[in-house]
Amino acid sequence: MKVNLIKPLTFALAISTVTMANTIASAQGQEKGKSDPATAAQNLKVAKQKYDSVLTAAHVNISPQIPRNFPVPPYTSNIVSTSFINSTKGSPTATVGISTKDSPESVFQWYQTQLRASGWTLTVASPKLTAKLGKEGQFFMLDGAKEKQGIKLFCMLDQVSKGTKINITWLKNR
Amino acid sequence: MSTVERQRKRGSVTAFAAVLALTLMVLGIGFIIISLYMGGQRETKNATDAGALSVGKEVLHEPSVMLSPADNQKCFFDCTNDSINNNIIGDGKVNLNRINRVWSKALLMAINAKAASMEGNAGSGVGNAGSAASAAQDLSDALADKLTTAANLHGFFNDISTKNSTRMIGVNSSTKVRPGPGWQTSLMDRDAESNIELTGSPADNFYLPPGFNLPPSSRTQCTRTPVPGEVANTYFLKGYTPIDVLDRKFWQVPFKWNDKPHLVSSTPFNANKASAIPTTWAKPIPNAFSVDAEAKNPGATAETAMSWVLSNPRHPFKLAAPHSFLHIKVDEMKCHWYFYPVPPFKVEFGAAQTYDFNDSPKSMTGTPMPAGGVLCAMVSPPAQVIGLDIVGRSLDEVIFGPPPGNINKVEGYMVNRANEMISKPGVTITPAKLHSVLGSALTRAWLIAGEKDFYLFSKDGETLQCEPKSIAQISAPMWMPTIINNTPDGNETKIIDDAFMPGGIPLPHVPTPDPFCSPTPGVNWSWVLWDKDVYWKPGTGYNGSLGEIRVKRWSEVHTVGICNPF
């Protein structure tokens, strides 16, 4: 079970304030340290260690790159950004996020073609369902199954860029 | 030859003929008397056999015992009809045809309570199951008293026996009950099957509650020789064999599968009387009856005959609780926002936001947290798409869909309870069937329409329905409205505890650093987790509720803000 510390905000704030005060004192007392590359590298290292401890506690791993062995082919046209997150405990699961300038419909069509060609069995949400959700033309989704793997793929209209946000969740041993 | 001699000779022939005629007449009369006697005896026996068969058939329906309005008897109301259709309402009478249904439903409640107690969440289930077992015992004892009171059966005998001719005894004669010690009962076919079938086989644990094992001595396959093909792979509860659950004994009356009520000889009948082979069942329900009758002309000597009949309803049922349901409850979904001021410990900050099936997915932004990260003055989570875990999902996906967790246990409970609702022998609710029902497009529509409470039940005893409250009450109008608000008698436990998985796109963000600090490159991310808890609250079926599955889904947005000194 994840450690769930609800409301120790006061404690956290106190720690943060103390840390900040120490840092300020340290920065004021050691003017040299500010521009000292060795100290800066050490500070960076400590910060990254803290980040790693968060990911370890949350049992996830995050990367901006999609691993090559991810079982669903990544969309490659007009890409704005990509991200990847996977579980490090329990059932193997991973989620890929891709932003593209292309339209949701064309992206979704591309994925259907690619997945079928790769041997995935697809269940595609009917337009009736998306209409019922009030997102006709803006939201597409499908479920895929292949051997003991499953995927859930969503293509959504990005209201800001008018491009598409792609979210692919992969599960093993379904 | 002279005339005198001729006349003398003719006289002796005449005398001989007369003697011969007399002899033949005596023999003829004797033959007629013997024929009448034997014919009368045969007619009496035939009439007695017919009357015995009538007893063997009619005794299945009467005498009967009426249920009382007490809760522990009321729970057997769904066993007081002869149909496998759950929507057919009973008449409240328990008879020989139905007593095995009553005992088996009491057994089922005890099994459910036992399984729950093994997991420590029986609640008041053990008490309720015990109360139901006592009621079953009371009903059984009262019925046994009536069945072993011969006078209650005399009418069934006379109705048929008097219609049979005994003209050889006399025009006005008829075969009627001869009250007395000739009217006996017996417990035949011991260890043979009852008319209660189990679902499945030992390989699938008869679809009983996970963790509970039915003692092998409690069950049997068909004992007919040869075994009819229709039931070659079917298991039944065993008759006149105590089935021990929760320190109580549950009983069944053996009725060999599809065996017609038939006459039996006195030898096995007498050999199986309770007095000949005692049983630990204090007041056993008999399945065989002897009858004693006589036929006579007024003022003449009576003909007497006895017959022995083995009864059988030829009506199989399933080990079931026909008027029952499983409640499935979907909790309101919320999105929680977490920060890491002191890694790796997380802090929830800002109000959780709700999302639902009818408005997902949607973009959500959490409240920025002052000092919500290491050396951060402010951490503002970027907008995240929330609700991808439930959007357009069926009830099956909501329960069993990702994140997975220990779904086998949830499935085991649900398949077990679904089978307990089915009354029709031979029908099995497999996991695939359950998923098909829960995964119907209708459940998607109902979820989008805002329904959160669903009821799994069988209206016809053969198929499974999963419907929201209002529809369920219409589907089973005669019984569902009276029980649908009842809650399970067990205690709730969590069977999937915070199953989680990455569910959204990790997004980079830039925290506001404390003075003299800058955001650490490559570590300031915000990501979404899908989380799921599933709770199980077992019910024995005492009040109709076989349990409750509660699904709690939520999303967590975790935002890490880390800065480092210059």
Nearest Cβ partner for B404 among A59, A84, A171:
A171
Residue A174 has pLDDT above 70, yes or no: no
Write the CB contacts of B85 (distance below 8 Å, at least 6 apart in sequence). B423, B460, B461, B462
Q: A94 in contact with B at a CB cutoff of 8 Å?
A: yes
Q: Enter the tokens of residue A1.
A: 């079970």
Above 0.95 for ipTM, yes or no?
no
Q: How far apart are CA B75 and CA A26, in angstroms?
A: 76
Instruction: State which residue of chain B sits closest to A23, comparing Cα positions.
Output: B565
Residue in A3, A4, A22 to test binding to B, most B beta-carbons within 10 Å: A4
Q: How many other CB atoms are there within 10 angstroms of residue B457's CB atom?
A: 26
Which region among A165-174, B115-124, B130-139 has the lowest average model confidence (pLDDT)? A165-174
pLDDT of res. B425: 93
Nearest to A66 by CA among A87, A95, A91: A95
Nearest Cβ partner for B562 among A47, A87, A94:
A47
Provide the shortest C-alpha distance from residue B275 to chain A (in Å): 60
Q: Cβ contact (<8 Å) for A58 and B498?
A: no
- Chain B residues within 8 A of A95 when measuring between CB atoms: 501-505
Q: Cβ contact (<8 Å) for A159 and B363?
A: yes
Provide the shortest C-alpha distance from residue A108 to chain B (in Å): 16
Q: Cβ contact (<8 Å) for A24 and B515?
A: yes
- Chain B residues within 8 A of A100 when measuring between CB atoms: none
- Interface size between A and B, measured as CB pairs under 8 A: 192
Residue A8 has pLDDT above 60, yes or no: no
- Chain B residues within 8 A of A5 when measuring between CB atoms: 345-347
Q: Enter the tokens of residue B399.
A: 């329960």
For B334-351, write each residue's pLDDT tens digit. 999 999 999 999 999 999
Instruction: State which residue of chain A sits closest to B527, comparing Cα positions.
Output: A85
Q: How far apart are CA A79 and CA A56, in angstroms?
A: 30
Residue B503 has pLDDT above 60, yes or no: yes
Q: Cβ contact (<8 Å) for B520 and A57?
A: no
Write the CB contacts of B135 (distance below 8 Å, at least 6 apart in sequence). B70, B72, B73, B75, B76, B106
For B135-148, write each residue's pLDDT tens digit. 999 999 999 999 99
Q: Three-state SS for B508?
A: strand
Provide the shortest C-alpha distance from residue B341 to chain A (in Å): 6
- Chain B residues within 8 A of A34 when measuring between CB atoms: 516, 565-566
Q: Cβ contact (<8 Å) for A51 and B520?
A: yes
Q: A145 in contact with B at a CB cutoff of 8 Å?
A: no
Sign of CA dihedral B148, B149, B154, B155: negative
CB B470 within 8 A of CB B486: no
- Chain B residues within 8 A of A15 when measuring between CB atoms: 341-342
Alpha-helix runs per DSSP H in B194-258: none
Q: How far apart are CA B110 and CA B120, in angstroms?
A: 15
- The structural domains of chain B, with segments of one domain joined by +, span 41-318, 325-565
For B178-220, write each residue's pLDDT tens digit. 898 989 999 999 999 999 999 999 999 999 999 999 999 999 9
pLDDT of res. B31: 79
pLDDT of res. B115: 96
For B413-470, write each residue's pLDDT tens digit. 999 999 999 999 999 999 999 999 999 988 988 998 899 999 999 999 999 999 999 9
Instruction: State which residue of chain B sits closest to A20, comparing Cα positions.
Output: B375
Residue in A26, A85, A98 to test binding to B, most B beta-carbons within 10 Å: A85
How far is C-alpha B382 from the chain's CA centre?
55
Nearest Cβ partner for A23 among B375, B504, B508:
B375
Q: How do A79-87 and A149-157 pair as beta strands?
A: unpaired
H or E segment at B341? Answer: strand B333-342
User: For residue B185, which phi and psi values (nearest 5 degrees)?
Assistant: -125, 160
pLDDT of res. A89: 84
Instruction: State which residue of chain B sits closest to A127, comparing Cα positions.
Output: B392
Tokens 């990005």, residue located: A158
Q: Cβ contact (<8 Å) for B527 and A87?
A: no
